Chains A and B, each alone.
Chain A
Amino acid sequence: MNMKSDLPSKMNRRTWIQRIQKLTILTIGAWLSPTFVFAKKEDADEAIKKITGSAKIQEGRVTLTIPPLVENGNLVVLKVSVESPMTANDYVKAIHVIAEGNPLPNIFTAYLTPRSGTANITTRVRLADSQRVWAIVQMSNGSFWQGSAETLVTLSACTEMV
């Protein structure tokens, strides 16, 4: 067999492989779509309602930092910072962190005082799934602010056997 007659069949195979690759990317994309992530959204909403009551939650002032891609959900470094002067009249009272994809949405609640100086909290959390994590912040004047971050988790917490 000479090279010339072999070439077209090789090209065909290559295009076929490319098509399969495209299809795979599409399938993964569908798997990670928000409809899957929002499966437990109601639980998280309920947890947020419990904290805020009927008060309105405003967007902004809160920055929640988690890595956008997490290999192991068992230890994820999570940082919350809130823009606040932290004076006796205007300070952050409480920071609530809620994960909408965890079996229990509440992760932690930190209570701050004017003596905190800044409103920066860092801790390590567990994430059960790719999801959005919320930080609900209560100010000293009773207003609520929120911030959130989304992450992809490749190995979930809570699934391993002992």
Chain B
Amino acid sequence: MSKTSRTQLTVPATAKKNSIIEIRAIVQHDMESGFRYTESGKLIPRDIIRVFTCSYNNVEVFKADFYPGIGANPLIIFSTIATESGILEFKWLGDDGYEAVNQAQITVS
């Protein structure tokens, strides 16, 4: 079973060569911690995003492992060097076959 959800990226559309750009990536996800109980006392099973990766023209430039300590709708802000024009691909992988992919185009001058 595969699940996916809405994502939002903030990446500059243009950048100077070799400048440092800031990237914000948000994904819609409950990040169910696996430590909560329903009112009837049943444990809610863990359902979180495990891995986030960012590839710059198919080269991995950033990766993060998430644990239940990450809040719902995970936001991550990081940076990378604008080396060349191309596509940044963002991928989130999680429990129960969860997968979300989004891309952003960047023009480097």
B56 to chain A, nearest CB (A): 7
Asked if residues A125 and B70 are in contact (CB atoms below 8 Å), the reply is yes
| A75 interfacial contact with B, CB 8 Å | yes
How far in angstroms is the closest Cβ of chain A from B80? 6
Quick one: given A99-B69, A112-B62, are A124 and B38 in contact (CB under 8 Å)? no
Residues of A with C-beta under 8 A to B39: 161-162
A52 on the B face (CB < 8 A): no
Interface residues on chain B, number (Cβ under 8 Å): 34
> Interface size (A, Cβ < 8 Å)?
32
A110 touches B64 (CB 8 A): yes
Which B33-70 residues sit within 8 Å CB-CB of chain A?
33, 35-39, 44, 56, 59-70
Closest to B59 in A: A115
Known A111-B64, A116-B79; judge A161-B37 contact (CB<8 A): yes
| Closest Cβ–Cβ distance, residue B70 to chain A (whole Å) | 6
Asked if A17 is an interface residue, CB under 8 A from chain B, the answer is: no
Whether A115 pairs with B69 at a CB distance below 8 angstroms is: no
Chain A: which residue is nearest B21 at the CB level? Answer: A117
Query: Does B104 lie at the interface of the complex (its beta carbon under 8 Å from any beta carbon of A)?
Result: no
Contact with B along A114-132 (1 / 0, CB 8 A): 0111101111111000000
The answer, yes or no, to whether B108 is at the interface (CB within 8 Å) is no
A161 to B38, CA, bound (A): 6
The 9 A-B residue pairs whose C-beta atoms are closest, nearest first, are A107-B69, A117-B20, A122-B77, A124-B71, A111-B63, A109-B65, A117-B81, A106-B67, A110-B64
Q: What are 17 residue pairs bridging A and B, where the CB atoms are less than 8 Å apart in the complex?
A: A99-B69, A104-B67, A107-B67, A108-B67, A111-B63, A112-B78, A113-B61, A115-B61, A116-B61, A118-B79, A120-B77, A120-B79, A121-B64, A123-B70, A123-B75, A125-B71, A158-B33
Extra inter-chain contacts (16) besides given A102-B69, A123-B71, CB under 8 Å? A104-B68, A104-B69, A108-B64, A108-B67, A110-B62, A113-B62, A116-B78, A116-B81, A117-B21, A120-B77, A120-B78, A123-B74, A125-B71, A126-B33, A162-B36, A162-B37
Residues of chain A at the chain B interface (Cβ within 8 Å): 74-76, 97, 99, 102-104, 106-113, 115-118, 120-126, 157-158, 160-162
